[in-house]
Amino acid sequence: MWSFHQIADFINDWLNQRFNPTWVTVIEMIITGILVISLFAVLGLVLVIMERKVSAWIQIRLGPNRVGPKGMFQSLADTLKLLVKEGMTPTGSDKFLFNLAPYIAMIVAMLLMAPLAFARNFQMWDMNIGVLYITAISSVSVISVLIAGWSSNNKYSLMGAMRAGAQIVSYELSAGLSILAVVVLTGSLNINEIIQSQANGWWIFKGHIPAIIAFVTFIIAVTAETNRAPFDLAEAESELTAGFHTEYSGMKFALFFLAEYVNVFIVCALGAILFFGGWMPFHIGNWQGFNHVMDFIPSSIWFFGKTFFLIFLIMWFRWTFPRLRIDQLLNLEWKYLLPISMFNILLVTAMAIGGWHF
Partner 1 sequence: MAFLKSYLMFIVKYIKEVFGAVKSLAIGLRRTMYYFTHHKEIITQQYPDNRATLNFPERFKGEVVMPHNENNEHRCTGCTACELACPNGTIKVITQFITTPEGKKKKAIDKLVYHLELCTMCNLCVVACPSDAIKMAQTFEHSVYDRGELTKILNNPGSKIMEGVE
Least CB distance to partner 1 at residue 297 (A): 25
Q: Which residues contact 354 (CB under 8 A, 6 or more apart)?
A: none
Q: For partner 1, which residue of 60, 69, 84, 286 counts as binding (CB under 8 A)?
A: 60
Least CB distance to partner 1 at residue 320 (A): 4
Least CB distance to partner 1 at residue 215 (A): 13
Least CB distance to partner 1 at residue 213 (A): 11
Stretch that binds partner 1, among 61-69, 190-198, 199-207, 233-241 (CB under 8 A): 61-69
Distance CA 236, CA 229 (A): 9
Cβ proximity to partner 1: between 25 and 328 the closer is 328
Q: For partner 1, which residue of 61, 81, 95, 292 counts as binding (CB under 8 A)?
A: 61
The DSSP element (H or E) to which 332 belongs, if any, is none
Q: Which residues contact 283 (CB under 8 A, 6 or more apart)?
A: 199, 200, 201, 290, 291, 294
What does the per-residue mask of binding to partner 1 show for 304-343, with x meaning CB under 8 A? ------------xx-xxx--------------x---x---
Q: For partner 1, which residue of 62, 169, 293, 346 counts as binding (CB under 8 A)?
A: 62
Q: 10 Å Cβ neighbour count for 87?
A: 15
The DSSP element (H or E) to which 119 belongs, if any, is strand 117-119
Least CB distance to partner 1 at residue 51 (A): 13
Cβ proximity to partner 1: between 13 and 327 the closer is 327
Cβ proximity to partner 1: between 287 and 316 the closer is 316
Q: 10 Å Cβ neighbour count for 189?
A: 20
Q: Which residues contact 18 (CB under 8 A, 6 or more apart)?
A: none
**CA angle at 339 for the pair 336 and 341, rounded to the nearest 5°:** 100
Cβ proximity to partner 1: between 55 and 188 the closer is 55
Least CB distance to partner 1 at residue 207 (A): 19
- Contact status: 155 vs partner 1 (CB under 8 A): no
Least CB distance to partner 1 at residue 317 (A): 8
Stretch that binds partner 1, among 12-20, 59-67, 87-95, 244-252 (CB under 8 A): 59-67
- Contact status: 59 vs partner 1 (CB under 8 A): yes
Distance CA 112, CA 95 (A): 27
Of 279, 4, 269, 313, nearest in space to 112 by CA:
269
Of 273, 114, 129, 113, nearest in space to 190 by CA:
129
Helices (H), the chain: 4-18, 21-58, 74-84, 95-113, 130-151, 155-186, 191-196, 203-206, 208-225, 237-240, 250-276, 288-295, 299-318, 326-331, 338-354
- Contact status: 58 vs partner 1 (CB under 8 A): yes
Contact between 285 and 129 under an 8 Å Cβ cutoff? The reply is no
Cβ proximity to partner 1: between 10 and 336 the closer is 336
**CA angle at 162 for the pair 157 and 167, rounded to the nearest 5°:** 125
Stretch that binds partner 1, among 2-10, 51-59, 189-197, 252-260 (CB under 8 A): 51-59
Least CB distance to partner 1 at residue 27 (A): 46
Restricting to residues 64-83, which ones interact with partner 1 according to CB under 8 A?
65
Question: CA 87: distance to chain centroid?
Answer: 27
Stretch that binds partner 1, among 24-32, 50-58, 124-132, 149-157 (CB under 8 A): 50-58
With contacts defined by CB under 8 A, how many residues of the chain interact with partner 1? 15
Cβ proximity to partner 1: between 18 and 66 the closer is 66
Residues near partner 1, by CB under 8 A: 54, 57-62, 65, 316-317, 319-321, 336, 340
